[in-house]
Amino acid sequence: MSEIAKLELDGNSYELPIIEGTENEKGIDISKLRGGTGGYITLDPGFKNTGSTKSAITFLDGEKGILRYRGYPIEQLADKASFLEVSYLLIEGELPTQQQLTEFKESITKHTLVHEDMKQFFEAYPAKAHPMGVVASMVCSLSTFYPESLDPNRGEVAVDLTIHRLIAKLPTLAAWSHKNAMRHPFMYPKNDLGYCENFLHMMFAMPTENNTVDPVVVSALNKLLILHADHEQNCSTSTVRVVGSSHANLYASISAGISALWGPLHGGANQAVIEMLQQIYNDGGDVDKWVAKAKDKNDPFRLMGFGHRVYKNFDPRATIIKKSCDDVLAKLGVNDPMLEIAKKLEKVALEDDYFKSRNLYPNVDFYSGIIYKAIGIPTEMFTVMFVLGRLPGWIAQWKEMRENNEPIGRPRQIYTGENARDYVNIANR
């Protein structure tokens, strides 16, 4: 393989270094392009062809449908690991020993409580407040209670404490955003419960009842959180990296990532999928009609949960979630007509040239909402579930960016506005 790329510009020839990753991905390093060519930059709206960094955290191959966290296939992790184990793997780079996992769990457990003063913030939100707006604000507000978190260069001990606090408190903040919307009493975390079980307890338990959590639901949630834990340089992760590159604190960086994930083209798609399936169901279930609408350029309707910037074959997470759908609904005795509509929609779309020619396949969001619905998560909380899953990935990416001392993210542009002109007094306009 050539080590350089040659560029011919204005009669001059330039050599650009080629870099290759451990999975043979190749990139042209343009970090010296502008200075070396007298001002040329590249232009790539949406960064479809542009790498922002080198990373050792997650590898995915869109053509082969491969997803690995720190080299471990997602299929094995989803089947065998716990979410906290995968969180440790993403953040620290290796699977934890039993001792390391025990210490990690103990540290997380002792930080699950949220400062009592934060309860007043919840009470200020209207019942109809979307929980993503609440959770994004609450995560950023953590920085006001823990001033030692404000300096990301404060050293490993302070950074690790900030990380553990965030992993520990996010489920509490998420569950309380739901309880606040229901105007139900907050349920406090219990130290004798596991991470997923504790969240489900805080979400659904009531102080007046003897509350238990179904192990089938705990297992389903553990798998879903693992499947969402990281996905290399997606929109929200890139947001976390850019915000963190200004040396903003971790809480502010993650809060920005939560806001980016909210969009219906990104993590908000899981809520949009269920709303779409419900719309098709209410309309009589005519799947062909809605597939035609998705293909019609004059119709704004898109098949939510379909298509992906990277996966041009199948999203391995969707394959695992689809199988888990049947399993969880059967174990819970849930018969959801949305699942049948989703399967019909998938079948019709995958046989249609419009989708096949554009490599549009179900993504992680297409089936996840059906499981969330089956385990009792309200639709508006679906994207908050994505936040819970993606948190360790965001943290790992933020930590890698900081440890590599990456420069502040500041893209260039091609200006297309007015050329220089003089101010005109208002009387003469």
Of the candidates 152, 189, 305, 392, which one interacts with ligand SDX according to CB under 6 A? 305
What is the smallest separation between the CB atom of 90 and ligand SDX, expressed in angstroms? 13
Between 91 and 304, name the residue whose CB sits nearer to ligand SDX: 304
Compute the chain's Rg from CA coordinates. Answer: 23
167 binds ligand SDX (CB under 6 A): no
Q: What does the block give as tokens for 387?
A: 């936040």
What is the smallest separation between the CB atom of 304 and ligand SDX, expressed in angstroms? 5
| Spatial separation of the C-alpha atoms in residues 126 and 403, rounded to whole Å | 40
Of the candidates 111, 190, 309, 331, which one interacts with ligand SDX according to CB under 6 A? 309
3-state SS, residue 181: helix
Q: What does the block give as tokens for 415?
A: 């200006």
Please state at what angle helix 269-282 crosses helix 337-350, rounded to 10 degrees: 100
| Spatial separation of the C-alpha atoms in residues 214 and 325, rounded to whole Å | 16
387 binds ligand SDX (CB under 6 A): no
226 binds ligand SDX (CB under 6 A): no
| Spatial separation of the C-alpha atoms in residues 87 and 167, rounded to whole Å | 9
The answer for residues whose C-beta is within 8 angstroms of residue 69's C-beta and 6 or more apart is 57, 58, 77, 86, 89, 90, 229, 230
Any idea which residues carry the catalytic annotation? 308, 365
- Return the half-sphere exposure (C-beta side, CA atoms, 13 A cut-off) of residue 251: 24
Q: Which stretch binds ligand SDX (CB under 6 A): 8-16, 276-284, 296-304, 375-383?
A: 296-304
Between 143 and 270, name the residue whose CB sits nearer to ligand SDX: 270
| Spatial separation of the C-alpha atoms in residues 181 and 135, rounded to whole Å | 12
Of the candidates 86, 139, 221, 360, which one interacts with ligand SDX according to CB under 6 A? 360
294 binds ligand SDX (CB under 6 A): yes
What is the smallest separation between the CB atom of 76 and ligand SDX, expressed in angstroms? 18
What is the smallest separation between the CB atom of 268 and ligand SDX, expressed in angstroms? 8
| Spatial separation of the C-alpha atoms in residues 103 and 84, rounded to whole Å | 11
Between 152 and 316, name the residue whose CB sits nearer to ligand SDX: 316
| Spatial separation of the C-alpha atoms in residues 304 and 266, rounded to whole Å | 10
Among residue numbers 29 through 58, which ones bind ligand SDX (CB under 6 A)? 46
Of the candidates 130, 178, 241, 308, which one interacts with ligand SDX according to CB under 6 A? 308
DSSP 105: H
| Contacts with ligand SDX, 260-279, as mask; x by CB under 6 A | -----xxx-x----------
How many residues bind to ligand SDX according to rule CB under 6 A? 22
234 binds ligand SDX (CB under 6 A): yes
Q: Which stretch binds ligand SDX (CB under 6 A): 122-130, 171-179, 363-371, 402-410?
A: 363-371
**Helix segments in 110-155, DSSP class H:** 118-124, 131-145
The residues that touch ligand SDX, with contacts defined as CB under 6 A, are: 46, 231, 234, 265-267, 269, 294, 302-310, 358, 360, 363-365
